[in-house]
Each structure stands twice: as C-alpha cells, then as structure tokens.
Structure 1
Amino acid sequence: MDSGEKRLNELGYKQELRREMTLFKTLAISISTVTLFTGITPLYGSSLLYAGPASLVWGWVVVSFFTWFVGIAMAEICSSFPTTGSLYFWAAHLAGPVWGPFASWCCAWLEVIGLIAGIGTQAYAGSQTLQIIILLCTGTNKGGGYFAPRGVFLAMYVGFTIVWAILNTFALQVIAFIDMISIWWQVTGGLIMVIMLPLVALSRQPASFVFSHFVTASDSTGIRSKPYAVILSFLVSQYSLYGYDAAAHLTEETKGADKNGPIAILSSIGIISVFGWAYILALTFSIQNFDYLFDVNNETAGTFAPAQILYDAFHGRYGKSTGAIVFLFVIWGSFFFGGLSITTSAARVVYALSRDKGVPFSSFWRKIHPKHKVPANAVWLCAAICVLLGLPILHVNVVFTAITSICTVGWVGGYAIPIFARMVMAEDNFKPGPFYLGKASRPICLISFLWISYTCSVFLLPTSYPIKFDTFNYAPIGLGVCLTLIMAWWILDARKWFKGPVRNTDEHTGKG
C-alpha cells in the first residue's frame, strides 16, 4: 500500500480503481486536458479583434500570474485529499459537518456541468479545425473548396464524442498510452510551430505592433468601450488556463498521489504558461495582413484566424498550403487528445458523485465495468449530454460561445468552493499532506477566490453588440436553468439525505 492509498483509506474509501498511473502518465493527462492549442486556437481571432495584439499578448501574462495562485491552493488541498471525487470531496471535508453537504453538492454539480460542457468545447473546436483542413485540401474558400455545412459539422461533433466514449469504455490502458503520445505531440509540435512559423512567414510584424498596438474593431464587434474590449480580449487566456485539476481526478489511479498529484498540477500550469505565450507570440508576429484575417472572402472564409495566418505564411513562401494543413492537423490532434482526457475526467466525477448517491439513478451510473474496471455507464451519460448540447449547431451561430462560457463558469467555479472553505476553516482541522503552504495558505486562497469570481463573471457578459438572437450569450440562461433546478432539488429533497461523500470502508481513521 503506497502513501496515496493509505491516505484514501484514512478518509474512509477502499481502493476500487486500478492504481497504475505514474507521475508522467498523470502529468500527460493533465496537460492534455489544459493543452497548448485547444484553448488558444479557437478564441485567438475573437480576442485579437476585440482590442488588438497588445491586450491579447499581455493578457496571457496577467492570467498566468493569477492562475498560479489557484494552482498552488489546489495543490495543497490535493496533497491532503487524494481522492477521485477531488473538488467536491474537498469541499465536503473542508467546509465541516454543518456546511459540508451543501458545499459538496454545489461543487459537484458545477464540476459535472463544466466537464461535460468541456467535452463539447473540444468536439466543436476539433470539428471546426477539421472543417478548415477539408476546405484547404479541396481548394480553399477562393478556389471552390468544400466548407462543411451545419449538418456535416454536427455529424463531426457527434462522431468525436462517440469515439472518446468508446475509448474511455474499453481502452483505459490505450488512453494512458495516447496521453503519453499527446504530451510529446503537443510539446514537439508546439516547439516546431513556434520556431518555424515566424521563419516561414515572408514578413514579420514589428515588436511595437505585437506588444503595444491597441486597436478596437467596434464596427465588427459593436463594442465601443475600450476597457470592456480589453476585458473580452482576456477571455482566450482565461479559457485556456484551467483543467489542470485533471490530475486530481485521477489520484485514486495514481501511484503516490499525495505527492504526484500536486506535482502534476503545478507542472502542467508551468508548461502551458510558457508554451502558450510562445504560441500566441508566434501567431501574432507572423500576421501578414491584420484586416485580411477577418475577411469573409479570404481562403478560410474569415472563420479561423490562426488557420489564415498559417495559410498566408506557407502559401506566401512556397505557393501551396501543405505546411498549413500539416500544422492544422497537429492542432486537430490536440483537440482530439483534449476531448479524450476531459471525457475521462468527466466520467470520474459523475462516478464519484454517483458513488455518493448524488445523481438520479446513482446505482446505475456508479457501476464499474467488470472487465475493464472503468465507470462505463458514467462515460456514456456524459457523452449523451454532450451530444444534446451540440444539437443547436443546426440553427444557432453562437453555440461555441455558450458552451465555452458554461464550461468555464462550471469548471472554474467548482475550484472556488473548496478554496474558499480552505481559507475560512480552522487550521487545526486541516491535516496537511506532503505539499503544505502553512501561513501562506490563507492569502493565496483569498487571491485565488477573488480571481475565480472575476473569471466566472466575465464569461457571462455579452460578447457582441447589438444583442440579437444570433449574437446573444446564452450561457447565463443555460446556467441559470441548470443551477435553479439543482438548488430546487437540494431545498425540496436532497438536503434531507445527501451528506456528501459516503465512505465505503467499514472503518476509517484520521482527520477528514
């Protein structure tokens, strides 16, 4: 029995899942969930348009700085509570016996909402990238290339979701292997792109343009307030820099999780912070014509600014788009790896909440596949809900805006509850793990909580004016309906029987 399993037993849980993940495998899954390309690529164009390159470039630095506070606070808690329920388990124990059940309930459902929507973001962005790859391979927008219509786009979205569910049902060892490929895929591919793209481009933007040029596109976005435009330009960084808690979701499957979990969380933040900024700089320095990026008549139909930057660079240098297509395939692979990892995390949270009887028909969703030892029913529940989220693609243009906002508010909002509970609890009631902040814990938690609150707020803002049916941010409505139902369930029924994480061992020792 290693230290992680020993601590799990102290907390009242027996080992059910296979504990075979090494630090490297856990780090690979964590990085695959955050990923180098999947956050930056789909929102790069809109953030660039809001307030020009300066806000986008420096926004990454600002967001990375505050993300470290959140990551450090979570690493300390993860070291003390290495369980697969992670955040909602933390919330229950840190909030104490009186508030623990309610804190756990809120945190668990925010996690579920965020992670399932996260699968949708990867499926949507992966489909968008594949759509552009097909367009460039068949002749570009100017040359009569094939631009997938809504129905085909939805079929791609559903296809990704189903493939991820199948792999998570029957191939946990394959997933671990794929995630090892993923970390090298992204690090190697990212390095090559960051170095090669500015070299291939016929011209490069001056440093003054990249680091200090500020311009709003009020005619395109309808946003005339400069501070508001800057706030929206930061969204790409805020959307990209979360998901590092994936390491915490896998702690019951990780060797020495009380040590390796925190290491994986902080290492993934460090790697993505550095590589993400380098990727943004490479794209921005390589812009050939700022206005042409968003022209609906350009080669990528004005829908995907990073793809147009790649096309302009390689076609301008070599007269063909092969290099751009290769790099777009690298980016597409990152979306595939990210969606696969997020599906893994989402299923683990649904399984853990079902194990604690917090989901309708819990006995069905908590079942472990007898052969593969994975929560297969939970996997397919997540996939089915993700498919339903994508159905509006057939009629609405702002599906991605809504899904990303719901994903971010749910996912990041789930971080706030255990961090707040850790901040206000009596220090004597906290049993630290190997990673312990001591007196620095409370100020770090305070900064983290305030930053998370700000992040969740800005993702509910309108992103385009005037507000119309096809420009409205539907995330507040979607979240409002979900959270109202969840709170009503709590008030009317769940508070009478839901007590938070339910121990599955006969005896337990130690403080919780």
Structure 2
Amino acid sequence: MGNSKILLHLSQFSTFTHFKTSPESTGISSAPYAVILSVLLSIYSLYGYDAAAHLTEETKDADRTGPVAILSSLGIISVFGWAYYLALTFSIRDLDYLYNTDNETAGALVPAQIIYDAFYGKFHNSTGAVVFLCIIWGSYFFCGLSVTTTAARVVYALSRDKGIPFSPIWRKVHPRSKVPTNAVWLCAAIGLLLGLPILKLDVVFTAIISVSTIGWVGGYAIPILARLVMAEENFKPGPFYLGRASRTVCLVAFLWICYACSAFLLPTFYPLRWKTFNYAPVALTFVLTLIMLWWVLDARKWFKGPVRNIDVQDGN
C-alpha cells in the first residue's frame, strides 16, 4: 500500500516535470517543435465559443449578452478541459507502452490506451474502460451534431444574403418545423462525404481538421486586424468595451490566431511520406483559389453584402 502511494505521488509530480517526444512513433525529436504541435488540440477545443457567437443575433441585447456568452464558454471549456487533461495524464501508468504497436490500441489511440490501462490496472477488467469510452464516443456524436447545426446556420445565413450558389434552395425554411432543412441536409451530406476517406487515410482527418480550424479562426482575424489599424476617432464602442486594453487584447488575439493557423499547417509526422504528409496547405490553397476565382469572375458582380431584414420589409 505504501509503495503504491509513493508511485502515485511520483507519477503526479512527473506530470508537471516530465517531457516526452516519442520520436519512435512520430519521428519528432525536437522538444520546441513538439510543444508547438501539442497545443493543436487545445486550440481546436477552445474555439467552441463560435457557437455562442452564432446565437447572438437571436438574443436580447446581443451587443452585451453575446460577448458575455463567449467569455463564459471560454471559461467553462478551459476549466473542464484542464481538469480532463490532468485526470488523463495522472492516469498514465507506462509511457513507453502507450505508443507500443503491440498494445491493445496498436499504439494509435493514446487516450483510449490510458483509460484502458487505468481500469485494467485497478480492476483487472476492461469493462469499465469500454463503458467510459462509450461515454466519450457519445460526446463525440453530440459534438458532431453541434458542428452540423452550426454549419447549417452558417449556410442558411449566407444563403439568406444570397452569398452562395443555389441560395434559394438552402435558405428555404420548412413550414412546419421552421428549420432550414435543406441547409441541414447539405451540411450532413458534406460531412459524410468528407468523413468517408478517413476510414482508410488518417491524413485526410488531419487535413480536414486543419483547414476547417484555419478557416474558422482566420475569419475572426479580419475584424480584429481592422480594429487595430482603425483610427481611434473613427471607432464607436458598444456597451461591452475593454477601454484602453482593447488594442492590446486585439494585438494578442491577432498574433495568437496567426500562430494557430501556422501551427495547423505543419507536418505532424516525420519522415515525410505520402501517408504522413500534412495536406492542409494543399487543400487550403485549392479552396482559397476556387473562392477567389469565383469572386473575381462572378460573385463580385452581384454580391452586395448582408441583407438587412428591415430593408427587405420596407421593400415588401
């Protein structure tokens, strides 16, 4: 009993002092490079505030409640995410075994292996690990459902402003459910088509996550940069205003976004091969090229920006 307590204290202490790069499985031996890549998951998770931003136009006093909701979501995600990471790292029993290709998850699913080792080491049974993983997989399902819902709202908003092809189809609202069902089905179909290649190629998942996060986060960099370069006398603050700290916060936020977008373009495995290459730069270049060509050749001739509801009502 005494020895187990000593090992537990040592493992908890090593959580904050031990650093492992696992070059045998990732090919990465550089500690600074590993630190840069280690923040990718937290970057993707922290941007859950986007859902709160999408809902602001449907809330009362959105110019005040919106920022409060965004900050609240960031705080909740940070606290619970930190607690989850600590619990996960405290549960590691053998660092070398985590990446061993002969372990129960073939060295590919490290969090699942940590959970399996914790339950099996304590109860000599894997039932608890399976139940716990089912809970996590269930949360993945609801996370995907939330992403699909958010994407459908974006498609509906853009089609309402006539900003995407076949806008009349996607902005159509079901008469009974009052939901843009066509937009929902479009996002579900795109998600399904993008997810199918992941069954065979892991690099597709990396590319999709990278491109979606860059596009997601990069969109916030534009108004932040505009605030930085805007003359102070031309800026009209709203009810939620940071005062003198606003420019400093904007600068830090803009630099963080630049760092995050750059990190998602880096390779995560070495040596570089067809099956380990990060195709995010290629996919991002392809998508941006299509969008810019569409804008230059067609969209700039008719797209005039967001459609204000009051203008539509006056027109009727």
Q: Same fold (TM over 0.5)?
A: yes
Which residue in the other structure is 1:261 paired with?
A: 66
Among 234, 246, 263, the residue aligned to 1:441:
246
Asked if the contact 2:155/2:183 (under 8 Å) is kept, the reply is yes
Distance 1:463 1:350 in 2: 31
Render the CA deviation track for 1:394-440: whole Å, top value 9, x for unaligned: 43232221121112111111111122122223445544333112232
Is residue 205–residue 284 contact of structure 1 (8 Å, CA) maintained in 2?
no
Partner SS, residue 101 of structure 2: coil
Alpha-carbon distance in 2 for matches of 1:429, 1:502: 24
Q: Which amino acid aligns with 2:243?
A: G
Counterpart pick for 1:403 among 181, 194, 208: 208
Highest RCO, 1 vs 2 (Cα 8 Å, sep ≥ 6) = 1
Aligned to 1:102: none
Partner of 1:284: 89
In 1, distance between residues paired with 2:123 and 2:199? 37
- Note the 1:2-401 alignment, pairs <5 A: 203=8, 205-401=10-206
CA–CA separation in structure 1 for the residues paired with 2:178 and 2:237 = 30
Amino acid at match of 1:310: I
CA contact (8 A) 2:21 2:31 kept: yes
Correspondence for 1:12:
none
* Equivalent position amino acid for 2:223 in 1: P
Offset, 1:282: 1.0
Confirm or deny: 8 A CA contact 1:405 1:459 kept in the other structure: yes
CA distance in 1, matches of 2:134, 2:161: 41
Structure 1 runs not aligned, ≥5 long: 1-198
The aligned amino acid for 2:241 is Y
Q: Deviations over 1:139-161 (max 9, x none)?
A: xxxxxxxxxxxxxxxxxxxxxxx
Question: 1:205 and 1:233, CA in 2 relative to 1: closer, same or farther beyond 3 A?
Answer: farther
Give, in angstroms, the shift of residue 481 of structure 1. 0.6
Cα displacement string for residues 288-313 of structure 1 (whole angstroms, at most 9, x for unaligned residues): 11111122222223222122211112
1:408 match: secondary structure: helix
Residue 360 (structure 1) shift: 0.5
Q: Supply the distance in 2 between the matched residues of 1:430 and 1:367 (Cα, whole angstroms).
A: 37
Shift of residue 369, structure 1, vs aligned partner: 1.4
For 1:42, the equivalent position in structure 2 comes to none
Tell me which structure has the larger Cα radius of gyration. Answer: 2
- Rounded Cα–Cα distance in structure 1 between residues aligned with 2:24 and 2:215: 32
AA paired with 2:123? Answer: Y
Contact kept, 8 Å, 1:204 with 1:286, in 2: the verdict is: no
For 2:134 and 2:10, how far apart are their aligned partners in 1? 25
SS of match in other structure, 1:282: helix
Deviation, structure 1 residue 246: 0.8
| Whole-angstrom distance in 2 between the partners of 1:482 and 1:252 | 28
Partner of 1:5: none
Aligned pair count reads 309
User: 2:225 maps to which residue?
Assistant: 420
Aligned partners of 2:25 and 2:99 also within 8 Å: no
Task: Tell me, in whole angstroms, the C-alpha distance in 1 between the residues paired with 2:231 and 2:109.
Answer: 50
- SS for the counterpart of 1:398 is helix
**Could you tell me whether the CA contact under 8 Å between 2:156 and 2:171 is conserved in 1?**
yes
Partner Cα distance (2:143, 2:134) in 1: 14
What is the RMSD of the two structures over their aligned residues, measured on CA atoms?
A: 2.2
AA aligned opposite 1:490: W
Q: State the distance in 2 between where 1:452 and 1:249 align.
A: 19
Partner residue, 2:299? 494
Gaps of 5+ in 2: none
Q: TM-score, normalised by structure 2?
A: 0.90
**CA–CA distance in structure 2, aligned partners of residues 255 and 341 of structure 1:** 22
Give SS of 1:245's match. helix
2:54 maps to amino acid = H
2:276 maps to 1:471: yes
Q: Is contact 1:250–1:345 with CA below 8 Å preserved after alignment?
A: no
SS of aligned partner of 1:393 = helix
**Partners of 1:394 and 1:319 in 2: CA distance:** 32
Q: Distance in 2 between matches of 1:261 and 1:296?
A: 47
CA distance in 1, matches of 2:312, 2:161: 17
